[in-house]
Each structure stands twice: as C-alpha cells, then as structure tokens.
Chains A and B, each alone.
Chain A
Amino acid sequence: MSEYRGVWVFSENKDLMLELLGKGSELANKLQTELTAALLGYEVSAQAKELIAHGADKVYLVDHPYLKNLHADPYTSALTSLVNQHKPEILLIGATRRGKELASRLATRLETGCVSDCTELWIDEKGRLLMNRVVYGGNAVATEICRTKPQIATVPPRTFEKLESKERKGEVVKVDVKVEEPRTEILETKEIEAAKVKLEEAKAIVACGRGIEKKEDVRIVEELAEVLGGLVGYTRPLCEDRKWYTEWIGLSGHKVKPDLYIACGISGVIQHIAGIRDSKIIVAINKDPEAPIFEIADYMIVGDIYEVVPALSAALKKLT
C-alpha cells in the first residue's frame, strides 16, 4: 500500500478545483507530499498556471476532444490511466452532479471506496484520510475512512476556502492516455436562471414553506428579502407537492450558509435543517409553537407570518 503517494484534486468546475487545491495543500503538507491537479478537458492548457498559483505543485494535463464536456466514459478512462500510472494516496473530486457520477464510476473501475459529499477532511495519526459526511437525512454526521487506495472523497462547492493566488513554481506535465469515446451524446442544454443558482452565495435568505397558502402570497416574503438585499428560498413541499418552483433548500437541494436565514412558515423537517445548518443566525417565524424549526433558531417568533413578515419589512425599512 505504501507505494501510493501524493494528494490529487480534480473538478470540471474551476472555482471548485481551486477550493479543492486549498484543502488539498493542507492535507499534502500534513503528509509531506506533493499536491497535484488533474486538468482534463479540451483546449484547457491555459488554466494550468492558475492551478499552480493556487497551490498545485504539479499539473497533469490531458487535452482531448472527447473531454470537451464531462461525460462519464472518457473522464473515467483518462483518470483511471493517470491514477494507475502515478498511484496517488488521496483523490479529491468536486461533488457537482457530474463530478459525483464520475467519482462513483472511477472508484468502481479502481475497485476502491469513495465517500460522497464530504464536509470535513483531515489526516489522523496513522496518516489515513478521515472524512465527515451528513447521513440519515441530516440527523447525523458519519466519520468514515477508506480501507483501499486511492482514498476518494467528493467535496461539494463552497465547503473549503481557496488559497490566495501567489507566484509559485510548479510543473506542468502533458500526458497522453487512452480516452474512451463517450457513449452519451448531449443534445441540448438549457440554462437555469442565474438568480436561483446563487442561493449558496447569498448573505441573507428569506425562505418560505407550507405556511404560505397561495403562490401570490410569496410576495410578502419577496418584499422582506428585497429590504434585506437577499434572496428568496423555498422548501421541498412547495416545489415537489405544489409545483410552484423547481429548486428547494435542504439536504437534497441547495445547502446554504447565509449570515441571516429567516424561515417563514417552515416546520423544519430534518432534511430542511440539514440544508441551513451552517447559517450564522437563524430566525424562525411560525404559528405552531411546537414546530421543530424553533429547536434550531436563534430568534423565534410564534405568530402568523401574514402579520409578522410585513411588519418586519416595515421595521427594517425604518431602521436602515
């Protein structure tokens, strides 16, 4: 096993790749080993410099037309060849939806374990990678290790910080490996409106749940979000049961960490809480004094959102 050496990172998402380099350099320092970025794509060689500036000691570059979009087949084949040649002990992969299917497929071809959506990573006294992840619908955090190598972890966006860009020395190695042809073909891509995608970056989020009776009533929540300069979020029942929206906050949707999260008429099932746990301040407004959301709130108001929310908008307007 000791032949495995080095920490590698890969993501098709550039920001996420830099975040992985940030965490990867901490792990590599601890293990006194090299940090390598696997840069795969088509006509992507220009990105290598930035990866080095953000902490990579080495960049393995595979440039191939089949790698233009992230299809599982060509990426699995290219990464498998790279890993088999160089045997890294740790491989961090960005947990975008595309990245997660790739990681599972790659880990299977390498006959190794993979831990999904890690929220914390560290090295123990035996030099093993310990990985934390949320399980049981948000009820618990599991700490896991990989019994096989490479140890593969996928990491969601905005979990770790990138390092500041610095003038650094690093090596770029262009590699020719076997790249399989994709068996899937992309016919069309439709962008999802940008505003919804940025929930993860919002400083303030006002979210509403089943306590809102009609879709037009969401207006009161939108007004409060506007006063706060923040965004509006929804719970899963508003999306899946009532079909008002398509994207929700929660374990299976957006995981957010704003400075201020205001939950309006949200009961607070554990899956929702798992998506807001890292918020700095949580305010809960709910008619039901027994609502579980109050268990995790900093400020609680037992009351009717139809009265409290507009009053809060007015009060904040006065103050600012």
Chain B
Amino acid sequence: MVGGFRVQKIFVCVKQALDVAELKIDSATRRPIIAGVPRKISDFDKNAIEEAVRIKEKMGGEVIIITVGLEEAKTTLREALAMGADKAYLISDQAFEDSDTLAVSYILAEAVKKLGEFDLIICGEGSVDSFSAQVGPRLAERLDIPQITYVRKVSLDGDHVVAERSLEDCYETVRAKTPVLLAVTGEINEPKIPSLMAIMKASKKEIVMWKAEDLKISEERVGKTGSGIQVTDVLAPKMERKKIEIKAETVEEIAENLAKALVKEGVIAR
C-alpha cells in the first residue's frame, strides 16, 4: 500500500449478557431466577467498543458491531452505536437457543466471512455472565487468524498490531500481522458515556438483522445439537458461615475479643 497504512474495518463482537448484579437466587431450590433479569452490554465488550472507536479516530476505518443474541438486543446495540460504532449486525434466530461457545463462534465466523475483509476483530476478554473466555480464540481459530488475548494496551504499526498482554506473572508485548483478533481486559480504557448528541445520531445508524438462513447456517451446528457442552444443573453455592457479631463498649475491647477468637480458631500463625 502506497502512502501509509489505513485501517479499513474493525469488527467488535458484543454479547448481550445477563446483568448478574440483578440476579436473585430462589432460596428454597438454590437455583438462580433468570426470568426477568435485565440484559446489558457485557462490561469488557464496552472496553472493546471503546478501543475500536479510539483506533478509528486515529487510523480511520469503520467500526462494525456484531452480536448473536435475542431480538431485544437491538436496544443494547443502539448504545454501542452511540459509543461511536458505525453500524451493527444482529444475528438472531430461534435455532440459536442454548448455543455454547462452539456454536456461537461458528455463527460469528459465518457472519464475518459474509462481511468480507477486515483488519481487526476486538472482543472483551470474557462475558460477565458465563465468563468462559472462549468465543474470541474460537472465532480466531475458525477464521484462521492469530489472536492476542488479555490485551491491556494496543497500537498499530503499519499493518502490524503491537499489544501488551496482562498475564499472571508478567506483561507480555506481542506483535502480529493483521488481520488479528484481540481480546481486551477492563484495564485497556475507560469507556466514555455517550453524549446526548451521540445518542441522537445513533438512532439514525443502521442495525441489520440477519437470521440463520441469511448466513446459510447449518442447523445441526447451532443450538443444543451444535453445542459441545450441556449444562446439567446450576445451583447457588452453599455458604455456611458463623456470622458472629463482635460487640463491646469500646473499640479496644472489640479488637481484643476478635483477636482472641481468631487465636482460638487457629488462624493466627505464630
């Protein structure tokens, strides 16, 4: 390419996740009550959108949101558009119900293939509700492109991406040639809250709806039959704690009583 590198297209994969802070547990059965729990853009996916928009501001190109989810995801997609994305695709079909990461990555890959060439795909490191952190690398594998996960900093150097990863014991700086898939952490940026103007502008942006047949999705590869994983049960963990409140006249007494109790428990190392 003559005259410097310009980014053409950035895809951002966004999940409409359960807002786990709103989740209640049925105390009799210990089962979470999913019905009625609101959904929102998964936290790290907002970081992914923000990073894509920042790259666009510097390097040009178009930011396109892709979501596999329920039809009501449209409202969360408006929010993504207000954050600065240009266009969104919502892929929704009854056949997708109960799809796991194996199936969802297949649907996303078919959508990306239909949309054509791109420079970057950005995802959040994991979703707030299931947090399996698999869809990103699985999508990269299906598209046969390299991935860089747990990214806390990123820059473009011509047609190469340089990214700093946050690993358990080190920060690792990695370079790869585009197209690349990045999975970003919450450290990478502070997502902006869209202005009223941006929200109004977003209402005019396009949200394209696709169904399974638009992507020639094979039904055996999605939903329950297309999933590798089957969930057999979901229960709230048992938490049996002593819940002893320590009270006394003075702070000094409270502290002494607690110290004695901890010694008795055998948790003071001496």
In the complex, which range does the number of interface residues on chain A fall in? 35 or more
Question: Could you say which residues of chain B place their CB within 8 Å of the CB of A32?
Answer: none
Among candidates A135, A246, A307, A318, residue contacting B187 with C-beta atoms closer than 8 Å: A246
B187 engages A301 (CB within 8 Å) = no
Size of B's binding interface in residues, CB under 8 A: 84
B window 198-255: CB within 8 A of A: 227-237, 239, 241-246, 251-252, 254-255
B251 engages A311 (CB within 8 Å) = yes
Secondary structure of the A side of the interface?
A: mixed
Question: Could you say which residues of chain B place their CB within 8 Å of the CB of A79?
Answer: none
Known contacts A315-B252, A319-B260; A107 and B168 CB within 8 A of each other: no
A183 engages B176 (CB within 8 Å) = yes
Q: Give the nearest-CB partner of B32 in chain A.
A: A140
Contact flags (1/0) for B81-111 with A, using CB distance below 8 Å? 0000000000000000000111001000000
Q: Give the nearest-CB partner of A190 in chain B.
A: B171
Q: Pick the interface stretch among A3-11, A34-42, A110-118.
A: A110-118
B228 engages A113 (CB within 8 Å) = yes
22 contacts between A and B (CB under 8 A): A97-B165, A101-B136, A104-B141, A108-B142, A113-B100, A116-B133, A117-B131, A134-B131, A137-B129, A183-B146, A184-B148, A185-B174, A185-B176, A252-B126, A252-B131, A271-B20, A294-B243, A301-B245, A308-B255, A315-B252, A315-B258, A319-B260
5 extra interface residue pairs, beta carbon distance < 8 Å, beyond A108-B138, A137-B131, A270-B20? A108-B141, A112-B228, A136-B32, A183-B146, A295-B241
Give me the interface of A with B, judged by CB distance under 8 Å: 72-73, 76, 96-98, 100-105, 107-109, 111-117, 130, 133-148, 183-192, 197, 203-204, 228-229, 240, 246, 251-252, 259-260, 269-271, 277, 280-283, 294-303, 307-308, 311-312, 314-316, 318-320
Ranked 6 nearest A-B pairs via Cβ: A113-B228, A137-B20, A311-B255, A104-B137, A183-B146, A113-B229
